Amino acid sequence: MHGKSFRLVFVAVLLVALAASCGGNRSTAKTTSTANTTTAKPPPATAFKAVFSAPSHHPVVNKNWPITVIVTDRAGKPVAATLQMNVLFAGAQVGQIDNGKIYHFVGRHHENIVWPVASIGQPLTLQSVVIVKGKTKKLLWPLSVVRK
């Protein structure tokens, strides 16, 4: 009986391993076939890079929390952009920074955000919506405001 259960377990493990290796590696790359050669198309390059930075994910209530958004072209040169920042809770917008003001800048935007007492301990996300020449990127920065 012991040998039979070992074989069943062995066969089950083998079947699971075989099933995991078959069809589980699905590629999303599109291919173009010319005669007998197939080449993968690279994903479309984005028109710009946008990076959000802040000193931490835990701003202190009623204190300046400096943030920076840097926007460049693919070569790293500053580009003209617009920026609007929203506050999200569980993915839903619950507020806006500076009442939804749209900032216009070239290359770098810097400012200080002051978080109110009502935000302490809430799992929030700061969403920076960056637009360059009609292309949009949304940068997300999860945060939790703390009392110091």
Q: Is the pLDDT of residue 38 over 80?
A: no
Maximum mean pLDDT: which of 9-13, 31-35, 97-101:
97-101
> Residue 31: which domain range?
2-40
Q: Is the pLDDT of residue 136 over 50?
A: yes
- Which pLDDT band, with edges at 50, 70 and 90, does 44 fall under? low
- Cα–Cα dist 75/84, whole Å: 24
pLDDT: which is higher, 148 or 113: 113
> Which residues, listed in sequence order, are joined to residue 69 by a DSSP beta bridge?
52, 109
User: Which residue matches tokens 């958004």?
Assistant: 69
Regarding whether 16 and 57 lie in a shared domain, the answer is: no
Q: What is the mean pLDDT of residues 66-73?
A: 98
pTM listed for this prediction: 0.69
pLDDT: which is higher, 139 or 27: 139
Q: How many structural domains are present in the chain?
A: 2
pLDDT: which is higher, 45 or 133: 133
Assigned domain for 104 exists: yes
Choose the weakest-confidence range: 7-11, 116-120, 131-135. Answer: 7-11
Alpha-helix residue ranges (DSSP H) falling in the chain = 2-21
Assigned domain for 148 exists: no
- Which pLDDT band, with edges at 50, 70 and 90, does 148 fall under? confident
Half-sphere exposure in the Cβ direction for 30 (13 Å, CA): 5
Assigned domain for 83 exists: yes
Assigned domain for 32 exists: yes
